[in-house]
Amino acid sequence: MSDKGIAVTMIYYYRTTLKQKDKHGHPLYNFKFKKVTLKKSDFKKRGIIDPKEFERNGRLAIA
């Protein structure tokens, strides 16, 4: 898709456990997400894309 000029976006979700539990005793979670628009060079790596790499480069955006 990126070869055809269509923007490709990846979403990273971050989960934190809250101190509270629901009425059944299961933990409650808070979710936040950040998105990054991928470039052609990201696909050339052919491996797992680590979100920490995008944080270092300043490419992660809070959505």
Instruction: Say yes or no to pLDDT of 40 above 60.
Output: yes
Residue whose C-alpha is closest to residue 12's, from 32, 27, 34, 28: 34
Check: CB of residue 1 under 8 Å from CB of residue 29. no
Length of the chain: 63
Instruction: Say yes or no to pLDDT of 18 above 90.
Output: yes
The number of folded domains in the chain is: 1
What domain range includes position 14?
2-62
Instruction: Say yes or no to pLDDT of 63 above 60.
Output: no
pTM: 0.56
Instruction: Say yes or no to pLDDT of 15 above 70.
Output: yes
